[in-house]
Amino acid sequence: MNTAEATTWYFKKAARIMDVGERIETLLLSPLREITLQVSIELDNGEIRTFPGYRVQHDNSRGPMKGGVRYHPALDIDEARGLASLMTWKTAVVNVPFGGAKGGIAVEPSRLSGKELERLTRKFVDQTQDILGPTRDVPGPDMNTNPQVMAWIMDQYSKYHGHSPAVVTGKPLDLYGSKGRDAATGRGLVFICKQILGDINLPLKGTRFAVQGFGNVGSRAVRLLHEEGAVLVAVADSNGGVKNPRGIDVPALFEHAKKNGGLQGFDGGSPCTGDEVLTADCDVLLPAAIGGTLTRANAAHVRAKIVLEGANGPCTPEADEIFEKKGVLVVPDILANAGGVTVSYFEWVQNLQHVTWEEERVNAELEKAMKDAYERVAQISRNRKLPLRTAAYCLAIGRVGKATVLRGI
C-alpha cells in the first residue's frame, strides 16, 4: 500500500469510527477537480520531449487549495489524488485556512539541464495558470522541486495575472519567501516531540533519538533536538550512517556531512544502515526519509516508545496496527510534519499583506499552531480512546465536514 492508498485507508478508518455514512465519506474523499496534462518542451539538443503532468485539487471548503508540485518519474494521477487528500487533512489538523491539492510532472529531473527544467516548469504553469492563484490553488515545493522552481512558477504566473507572489510558497528569501520556512518542518517536529514527551513525563533533555533520513527535515530536526539537549544515538541517509548508544557528536556529524556530501564513513560510532536506524535502541524514532519504511516486517522490532512521522506515510497501516498493539505512540504525518505547510501559510499571509515577519515571529506562531493542533488531537485521543492518527483524522474530518456543511452542499 503506497502513501496515497494508506491515506484513504486511514481516512476510512476514522470515518467509520465517527459513523458518518458512505455518502458523506464519498463526498469528503472525492476531489473537486483533477487534470492531466501533456507538458512538451524542446531539450537543449533540439529533441522534443513530452511529459505527463498532473494537478489534483481535492477540497476547498476551508480555503484555497494548497499542495506541492513534485517532479518524479513515478508520479501518476492516483498518487496525486491520494496526496492531495492528505493535504486537505493536514491543513485541517493544524487549522490553517487552506484545502488540499497536489501535482507535478512525471519526470526524472536529474536528467534535465537547468534550462530544460526552467522551460518545463514555465510550460507547466502555462497549462495550469487558469486554475492556480492566491485564492484558488497555491503550489509549494515537494520532491525534487526547490525555491528556484517556485520562483519560476511565481514569475510565469505573474506574466498572466500581474505581480502575484502569493500564488506559490517556498520561494527564495530574496523573492518573497518567508524566514523560517526552510527549517519549519523540522522545527514543527521538535515542538510536537516536546509536547508528547511532556504528556508521558519525560524531559526532552537526555531523551535518546534516532533519525532515518538526513535531508531538509531530518537534518533540521537533528540540529534542533541536539540544541535542546536530546541525545542522537543513530542516524542514516540513503547511503549509510552511524550509531552510537553513548551519543553521536552532532557538530562533528554536520561537519562530516558538509565535507563528504553524506553521512557515510563518519567515524563517531559504528556504521549502520537506514533500516538499522529503525530498530535502534532509543526513546524517539524519527523516520524522515521516504514513505513505507516501517512495515509488517520490521515494526515488531522497533524499540522506540514514540514514532514521529517526519516523512509522509513512513508507517504502512500494518505497521501502524502493530504499534497500536505494542503501545508505541505514533505521531502521524498529518500532525507531526505539518510545520512546513503552516509556515507556507505564514508566507502566503505575508505576501498578501506585503509585509515581512521576523524569524522570531514565524517560529513563535509556528509553535502556537503546532501546540494547539497537538492539544486538540491528544484530547480527542484521550476522550475517545483512539490512537493519535485516528484522532487526527477525526479532527480533520470534523473541521472539513463543518466547513462543508456550513457552506452548503
Q: Are 53 and 103 in contact (CB under 8 A)?
A: yes
Closest approach, Cβ 392 to another protein, in A, equals 12
Site membership for another protein, residue 32 (CB under 8 A): no
Site membership for another protein, residue 175 (CB under 8 A): no
Site membership for another protein, residue 13 (CB under 8 A): no
Bridge partner list, 59? 100
Site membership for another protein, residue 18 (CB under 8 A): yes
Judged by CB under 8 A, the residue of 24, 35, 224, 290 near another protein is: 24
Site membership for another protein, residue 74 (CB under 8 A): no
Site membership for another protein, residue 229 (CB under 8 A): no
Site membership for another protein, residue 297 (CB under 8 A): no
Site membership for another protein, residue 398 (CB under 8 A): yes
Stretch that binds another protein, among 19-27, 41-49, 165-173, 223-231 (CB under 8 A): 19-27
Closest approach, Cβ 378 to another protein, in A, equals 14
Of the residues 66, 90, 102, 194, only one is catalytic, namely 102
In this complex, which beta carbon is closest to another protein, that of residue 271 or of residue 398?
A: 398
How far, in Å, are 182, 320, 369 from residue 174 at the CA level? 13, 41, 26
In this complex, which beta carbon is closest to another protein, that of residue 28 or of residue 151?
A: 28
Backbone angles phi, psi at 101, to 5 degrees: -155, 165
Closest approach, Cβ 19 to another protein, in A, equals 7
Stretch that binds another protein, among 18-26, 62-70, 142-150, 232-240 (CB under 8 A): 18-26
Site membership for another protein, residue 177 (CB under 8 A): no
Judged by CB under 8 A, the residue of 380, 386, 388, 392 near another protein is: 380
Site membership for another protein, residue 402 (CB under 8 A): yes
Sites for another protein among residues 77-116 (CB under 8 A): none
Closest approach, Cβ 20 to another protein, in A, equals 6
Report the relative pairing of strands 329-331 and 270-272 from DSSP bridges. unpaired
Q: Could you tell me the three cell numbers for 221?
A: 530536526
| Catalytic annotation present for 102 | yes
Q: Are 218 and 289 in contact (CB under 8 A)?
A: yes
Site membership for another protein, residue 395 (CB under 8 A): yes
In this complex, which beta carbon is closest to another protein, that of residue 62 or of residue 179?
A: 62
In this complex, which beta carbon is closest to another protein, that of residue 16 or of residue 159?
A: 16
Closest approach, Cβ 175 to another protein, in A, equals 38
CA dihedral for 355, 360, 361, 363, sign (positive or negative):
positive
Closest approach, Cβ 23 to another protein, in A, equals 6
Site membership for another protein, residue 387 (CB under 8 A): no
In this complex, which beta carbon is closest to another protein, that of residue 176 or of residue 374?
A: 374
Judged by CB under 8 A, the residue of 20, 35, 290, 349 near another protein is: 20
In this complex, which beta carbon is closest to another protein, that of residue 19 or of residue 47?
A: 19
Judged by CB under 8 A, the residue of 23, 246, 258, 354 near another protein is: 23
Q: Are 256 and 266 in contact (CB under 8 A)?
A: yes
In this complex, which beta carbon is closest to another protein, that of residue 14 or of residue 167?
A: 14
Judged by CB under 8 A, the residue of 74, 173, 175, 405 near another protein is: 405
Q: Which residues neighbour 201 within 8 Å (Cβ) at sequence distance 6 or greater?
A: none
CA dihedral for 254, 255, 261, 265, sign (positive or negative):
negative
Bridge partner list, 40? 50
What number of chain residues touch another protein (CB under 8 A)? Answer: 15
Q: Could you tell me the three cell numbers for 99?
A: 484545502
Q: How far is CA 300 from the centre of its chain?
A: 25
Binding site for another protein (CB under 8 A): 18-21, 23-24, 380, 394-395, 398-399, 401-402, 405, 409
Which residue numbers are catalytic? Answer: 102
